[in-house]
Amino acid sequence: MEQLEIKNLTLEFGGIVALQQVHMKVKKGEIHAVIGPNGAGKTSLFNCISGVYKPIEGDILFEGGSILNRKPHQIASLGIARTFQNIELFRHMTVIDNLLLGRHHRFHSGPLSGIFFWGRALREEIRHRQKVEEVIDFLEIEKVRKKVVGALPYGIQKRVELGRALAMEPKILLLDEPTSGMNVEETEDIARFVLDIKEELEITVIMVEHDMGMVMDIADWITVLNFGSKIAEGTPSEIQTHPKVVEAYLGGEG
Protein backbone atom coordinates (compact mmCIF):
# COMPACT_ATOMS: atom_id res chain seq x y z
CA MET A 1 0.00 0.00 0.00
CA GLU A 2 1.18 3.53 -0.74
CA GLN A 3 1.74 5.78 2.24
CA LEU A 4 -0.08 8.59 0.48
CA GLU A 5 -2.35 8.30 -2.50
CA ILE A 6 -3.92 11.21 -4.37
CA LYS A 7 -6.85 10.13 -6.49
CA ASN A 8 -8.57 12.10 -9.17
CA LEU A 9 -7.97 15.38 -7.34
CA THR A 10 -9.70 18.42 -8.81
CA LEU A 11 -9.59 21.91 -7.27
CA GLU A 12 -11.18 25.09 -8.56
CA PHE A 13 -11.11 28.75 -7.61
CA GLY A 14 -14.11 30.44 -9.16
CA GLY A 15 -13.70 29.46 -12.77
CA ILE A 16 -9.98 28.69 -12.49
CA VAL A 17 -9.02 25.03 -12.45
CA ALA A 18 -5.97 24.82 -10.18
CA LEU A 19 -5.81 21.01 -10.19
CA GLN A 20 -7.40 18.67 -12.67
CA GLN A 21 -7.84 14.93 -12.06
CA VAL A 22 -4.44 14.59 -10.44
CA HIS A 23 -3.30 11.10 -9.47
CA MET A 24 -0.17 10.54 -7.45
CA LYS A 25 1.20 7.71 -5.31
CA VAL A 26 3.87 8.26 -2.71
CA LYS A 27 5.82 5.34 -1.30
CA LYS A 28 6.99 5.27 2.30
CA GLY A 29 10.59 6.40 2.61
CA GLU A 30 10.99 8.03 -0.79
CA ILE A 31 11.90 11.54 -1.81
CA HIS A 32 9.09 12.46 -4.17
CA ALA A 33 9.60 15.71 -6.06
CA VAL A 34 6.72 17.70 -7.52
CA ILE A 35 7.88 20.01 -10.28
CA GLY A 36 6.26 22.23 -12.90
CA PRO A 37 6.26 25.82 -14.16
CA ASN A 38 4.89 28.73 -12.08
CA GLY A 39 1.18 28.42 -11.43
CA ALA A 40 1.16 24.69 -12.26
CA GLY A 41 -0.70 23.87 -9.04
CA LYS A 42 2.15 22.57 -6.85
CA THR A 43 1.40 24.66 -3.75
CA SER A 44 -2.33 24.05 -4.27
CA LEU A 45 -1.64 20.32 -4.15
CA PHE A 46 0.20 20.76 -0.83
CA ASN A 47 -2.68 22.88 0.46
CA CYS A 48 -5.10 20.07 -0.39
CA ILE A 49 -2.93 17.46 1.33
CA SER A 50 -2.61 19.58 4.46
CA GLY A 51 -6.34 20.31 4.53
CA VAL A 52 -6.20 24.04 3.78
CA TYR A 53 -7.99 23.77 0.43
CA LYS A 54 -10.98 21.53 -0.22
CA PRO A 55 -11.00 19.85 -3.63
CA ILE A 56 -14.29 19.60 -5.50
CA GLU A 57 -13.53 16.06 -6.58
CA GLY A 58 -11.21 13.19 -5.72
CA ASP A 59 -9.70 11.76 -2.57
CA ILE A 60 -6.50 11.80 -0.52
CA LEU A 61 -5.60 8.59 1.31
CA PHE A 62 -3.00 8.55 4.07
CA GLU A 63 -2.00 5.04 5.15
CA GLY A 64 -5.13 3.80 3.42
CA GLY A 65 -7.65 6.15 5.07
CA SER A 66 -9.21 9.27 3.58
CA ILE A 67 -8.07 12.54 5.14
CA LEU A 68 -10.24 14.66 2.89
CA ASN A 69 -12.60 15.80 5.62
CA ARG A 70 -9.96 16.36 8.28
CA LYS A 71 -8.98 19.79 9.51
CA PRO A 72 -5.40 21.03 9.05
CA HIS A 73 -4.44 20.46 12.71
CA GLN A 74 -5.84 16.91 12.58
CA ILE A 75 -3.81 16.16 9.47
CA ALA A 76 -0.72 17.55 11.21
CA SER A 77 -1.44 15.31 14.22
CA LEU A 78 -1.71 12.27 11.96
CA GLY A 79 1.89 12.94 10.94
CA ILE A 80 1.91 15.20 7.88
CA ALA A 81 4.01 18.31 8.52
CA ARG A 82 4.92 21.04 6.06
CA THR A 83 7.00 24.08 5.37
CA PHE A 84 5.78 27.06 3.39
CA GLN A 85 6.89 28.73 0.17
CA ASN A 86 7.12 31.97 2.17
CA ILE A 87 8.67 31.38 5.57
CA GLU A 88 6.02 31.22 8.31
CA LEU A 89 7.75 31.57 11.66
CA PHE A 90 7.24 33.76 14.70
CA ARG A 91 9.88 36.35 13.90
CA HIS A 92 10.08 37.83 17.39
CA MET A 93 10.59 34.49 19.10
CA THR A 94 13.77 32.47 19.47
CA VAL A 95 14.67 29.44 17.38
CA ILE A 96 14.01 27.11 20.33
CA ASP A 97 10.60 28.63 21.03
CA ASN A 98 9.58 28.37 17.36
CA LEU A 99 10.47 24.68 17.38
CA LEU A 100 8.68 24.10 20.69
CA LEU A 101 5.60 25.75 19.28
CA GLY A 102 5.65 23.26 16.42
CA ARG A 103 5.30 20.54 19.05
CA HIS A 104 2.70 22.24 21.22
CA HIS A 105 0.58 22.43 18.12
CA ARG A 106 0.67 18.66 18.05
CA PHE A 107 0.66 17.62 21.71
CA HIS A 108 -2.06 18.67 23.96
CA SER A 109 -0.94 19.89 27.29
CA GLY A 110 -0.25 23.39 26.08
CA PRO A 111 1.18 26.17 28.26
CA LEU A 112 -2.19 26.79 29.98
CA SER A 113 -3.19 23.25 30.84
CA GLY A 114 0.23 23.02 32.50
CA ILE A 115 -1.05 25.17 35.33
CA PHE A 116 -3.54 22.47 36.26
CA PHE A 117 -1.71 19.29 35.32
CA TRP A 118 1.81 20.32 36.06
CA GLY A 119 3.19 16.82 36.70
CA ARG A 120 2.24 15.50 33.31
CA ALA A 121 2.99 18.79 31.66
CA LEU A 122 6.46 18.86 33.17
CA ARG A 123 7.30 15.41 31.84
CA GLU A 124 5.95 16.38 28.45
CA GLU A 125 7.89 19.62 28.52
CA ILE A 126 11.13 17.73 29.15
CA ARG A 127 10.42 15.43 26.22
CA HIS A 128 9.53 18.42 24.00
CA ARG A 129 12.80 20.11 24.84
CA GLN A 130 14.82 16.94 24.23
CA LYS A 131 13.25 16.47 20.83
CA VAL A 132 13.78 20.11 19.92
CA GLU A 133 17.45 19.87 20.91
CA GLU A 134 17.81 16.74 18.75
CA VAL A 135 16.41 18.60 15.76
CA ILE A 136 18.69 21.58 16.45
CA ASP A 137 21.66 19.19 16.49
CA PHE A 138 20.52 17.45 13.34
CA LEU A 139 20.20 20.71 11.39
CA GLU A 140 23.40 22.12 12.87
CA ILE A 141 21.82 25.31 14.20
CA GLU A 142 23.18 25.10 17.79
CA LYS A 143 24.88 28.49 17.46
CA VAL A 144 21.60 30.32 16.82
CA ARG A 145 19.30 28.33 19.07
CA LYS A 146 18.67 31.26 21.44
CA LYS A 147 18.58 33.93 18.72
CA VAL A 148 15.42 35.70 17.65
CA VAL A 149 14.39 34.29 14.26
CA GLY A 150 13.77 37.64 12.54
CA ALA A 151 17.41 38.66 13.04
CA LEU A 152 18.83 35.56 11.32
CA PRO A 153 19.98 35.36 7.70
CA TYR A 154 17.31 34.13 5.29
CA GLY A 155 19.01 30.79 4.60
CA ILE A 156 19.13 30.00 8.32
CA GLN A 157 15.47 31.03 8.74
CA LYS A 158 14.55 28.49 6.05
CA ARG A 159 16.49 25.87 7.99
CA VAL A 160 14.65 26.82 11.20
CA GLU A 161 11.35 26.39 9.39
CA LEU A 162 12.45 22.94 8.33
CA GLY A 163 13.31 22.34 11.98
CA ARG A 164 9.87 23.41 13.13
CA ALA A 165 8.29 20.81 10.84
CA LEU A 166 10.79 18.12 11.91
CA ALA A 167 10.14 18.84 15.59
CA MET A 168 6.61 17.54 15.03
CA GLU A 169 8.11 14.09 14.32
CA PRO A 170 6.13 13.69 11.11
CA LYS A 171 5.78 10.59 8.97
CA ILE A 172 5.55 12.70 5.83
CA LEU A 173 7.23 16.05 5.34
CA LEU A 174 5.93 18.44 2.68
CA LEU A 175 8.58 20.95 1.63
CA ASP A 176 7.44 23.84 -0.57
CA GLU A 177 10.55 25.18 -2.30
CA PRO A 178 13.04 24.51 0.52
CA THR A 179 15.92 26.15 -1.39
CA SER A 180 14.17 29.18 -2.90
CA GLY A 181 16.29 32.31 -2.51
CA MET A 182 19.36 30.33 -1.44
CA ASN A 183 22.88 30.42 -2.84
CA VAL A 184 24.65 27.33 -4.18
CA GLU A 185 26.26 26.44 -0.88
CA GLU A 186 23.04 26.79 1.13
CA THR A 187 21.21 24.73 -1.50
CA GLU A 188 23.78 21.94 -1.18
CA ASP A 189 23.33 21.99 2.60
CA ILE A 190 19.57 21.60 2.24
CA ALA A 191 19.99 18.77 -0.28
CA ARG A 192 22.19 16.95 2.24
CA PHE A 193 19.66 17.52 5.05
CA VAL A 194 16.79 16.24 2.90
CA LEU A 195 18.78 13.08 2.13
CA ASP A 196 19.55 12.63 5.84
CA ILE A 197 15.86 13.14 6.67
CA LYS A 198 15.09 10.26 4.36
CA GLU A 199 17.96 7.98 5.34
CA GLU A 200 18.52 8.66 9.05
CA LEU A 201 15.10 9.82 10.22
CA GLU A 202 13.23 7.61 7.72
CA ILE A 203 10.68 10.31 6.97
CA THR A 204 8.99 10.39 3.58
CA VAL A 205 9.62 13.69 1.79
CA ILE A 206 7.38 15.31 -0.81
CA MET A 207 9.20 18.32 -2.17
CA VAL A 208 8.20 21.10 -4.51
CA GLU A 209 11.45 22.44 -5.93
CA HIS A 210 12.56 24.62 -8.82
CA ASP A 211 16.27 23.78 -8.53
CA MET A 212 16.46 21.02 -11.15
CA GLY A 213 20.02 20.09 -10.20
CA MET A 214 18.90 19.26 -6.69
CA VAL A 215 15.74 17.46 -7.85
CA MET A 216 17.65 15.28 -10.31
CA ASP A 217 20.32 14.53 -7.68
CA ILE A 218 18.16 13.45 -4.77
CA ALA A 219 14.60 12.58 -5.91
CA ASP A 220 13.57 8.94 -6.19
CA TRP A 221 10.44 9.79 -8.14
CA ILE A 222 9.17 12.94 -9.85
CA THR A 223 5.63 14.07 -10.60
CA VAL A 224 5.32 16.88 -13.15
CA LEU A 225 2.37 19.27 -13.14
CA ASN A 226 1.49 21.81 -15.80
CA PHE A 227 -1.65 23.97 -15.78
CA GLY A 228 -3.07 21.83 -12.96
CA SER A 229 -2.67 18.50 -14.72
CA LYS A 230 -0.10 15.78 -14.28
CA ILE A 231 1.83 15.61 -17.54
CA ALA A 232 4.49 13.08 -16.56
CA GLU A 233 5.94 11.00 -13.75
CA GLY A 234 9.03 8.86 -13.42
CA THR A 235 12.59 8.61 -12.25
CA PRO A 236 14.90 11.62 -12.67
CA SER A 237 16.48 10.17 -15.80
CA GLU A 238 13.07 9.47 -17.36
CA ILE A 239 11.81 12.96 -16.55
CA GLN A 240 14.91 14.76 -17.80
CA THR A 241 14.31 13.57 -21.35
CA HIS A 242 10.51 13.40 -21.31
CA PRO A 243 9.23 15.36 -24.34
CA LYS A 244 6.17 16.83 -22.52
CA VAL A 245 8.36 18.04 -19.66
CA VAL A 246 10.92 19.60 -21.96
CA GLU A 247 8.11 21.33 -23.84
CA ALA A 248 6.44 22.63 -20.65
CA TYR A 249 9.70 24.13 -19.45
CA LEU A 250 10.57 25.66 -22.80
CA GLY A 251 7.22 27.46 -22.76
CA GLY A 252 5.40 25.37 -25.33
CA GLU A 253 1.63 25.74 -25.52
CA GLY A 254 1.30 22.94 -22.94
Among 150, 178, 177, smallest CA distance to 163 is for 178
Nearer to ligand ATP, 109 or 223 (CB): 223
Options 42, 82, 158, 230; binder of ligand ATP; rule CB under 6 A: 42
Residues 60-89 that bind ligand ATP (CB under 6 A): 85
Q: Which residue is nearest to Mg ion (CB)?
A: 43
Residue 222 and residue 206: Cα distance in Å, rounded?
10
- Quote the CA–CA distance of 20 and 1 in Å, as a whole number: 24
How far apart are CB 38 and Mg ion at their closest, in Å? 8
Check residue 155 for interaction with ligand ATP (CB under 6 A). Answer: no
- List, in sequence order, every residue forming a beta bridge with 33; answer none if it has no partner: 207, 222
**Spatial CB neighbours of 55, under 8 Å, sequence gap ≥ 6:** 9, 10, 11, 19, 48, 68
Counting contacts by CB under 5 A, is residue 43 touching Mg ion?
yes
Contact status, residue 50 vs residue 76, Cβ threshold 8 Å: yes
Question: Please, is 92 exposed, middle or buried when counting C-beta atoms within 10 Å of its C-beta (0-12, 13-18, 19+)?
Answer: exposed
Q: Give the shortest CB-187-to-Mg ion separation in angstroms.
A: 17
Subset of 3-22 contacting ligand ATP (CB under 6 A) = 13, 16, 18
Minimum CB–partner distance for residue 23 and ligand ATP (Å): 17
Cβ at position 182, least distance to Mg ion in Å: 16
| Residue number, 84 or 107, with CB nearest to ligand ATP | 84
Tell me which residues touch ligand ATP (CB under 6 A): 13, 16, 18, 36, 38-44, 85
